[in-house]
Amino acid sequence: MSDWEDLAGYVASLPPEEQASFSRHAGMDLTGGQEAAARTLRAYAAGNPGVSPSSFLSSVCSQAAFACDTGMARRAGEAALQLAQSGEDRQLAHVALAQLHFQNRRDKGELDAFERHCLEAVRLGHAGTFCYERLTTLYEYRGQTGKAREICSRAIEVLEGAGDTSSADRFRRRLERFSARGGR
């Protein structure tokens, strides 16, 4: 997939019940075949020039995950990763998938997938706080203070670079608490 037309083809290739589910989570009717979906997506893209097909799919992933439509969320998130052409698109797709896996974190495989997607979003420099907060808490819970400190330091670097000094300060205070407890 490379653009909105390819996304329309992807949606049209889904079985009718999945097209309806995708449409619900996308907030627009994308049923009725590839041409109808392409027209709707082109109109959406014209009105939202800052949105890429990949970021659109990441949003569908997040909406489906919120609605506990895990299968659709997983498919949309994986498609978002495949379609991602920029670092920002990859960051967003990994965060959307991390949010999906976080919901089922009591399952070891889901927790591992959550951690993997968060670490990739962090590596790519995502400037949202979700992954930094959850990873720091996870590592702190596991007693992996060194890893928790690394995530806090990375959060401070990225968030300050993005101009989010308030969030960066929260991570700075968290680092200070680690130091006050002797790194434990």
Residue pLDDT, tens place only, 66-118? 999 999 999 999 999 999 999 999 999 999 999 999 998 999 999 999 999 99
Instruction: List the domain boundaries for the chain.
Output: 1-104, 127-184
Burial label for 147, CB within 10 Å (0-12, 13-18, 19+), is middle
pTM for this structure?
0.90
Is pLDDT above 90 for 179?
no
The three state secondary structure string of the chain is CCCHHHHHHHHHHCCHHHHHHHHHHHCCCCCCCHHHHHHHHHHHHHHCCCCCHHHHHHHHHHHHHHCCCHHHHHHHHHHHHHHCCCHHHHHHHHHHHHHHHHHCCCCHHHHHHHHHHHHHHHHCCCCCCHHHHHHHHHHHHHCCHHHHHHHHHHHHHHHHHCCCHHHHHHHHHHHHHHHHCCCC
Share of the chain above pLDDT 70, in %: 97
Determine the average pLDDT of the residues in 152-166. Answer: 97
Task: Tell me the backbone φ, ψ of residue 6, rounded to 5 degrees.
Answer: -65, -40
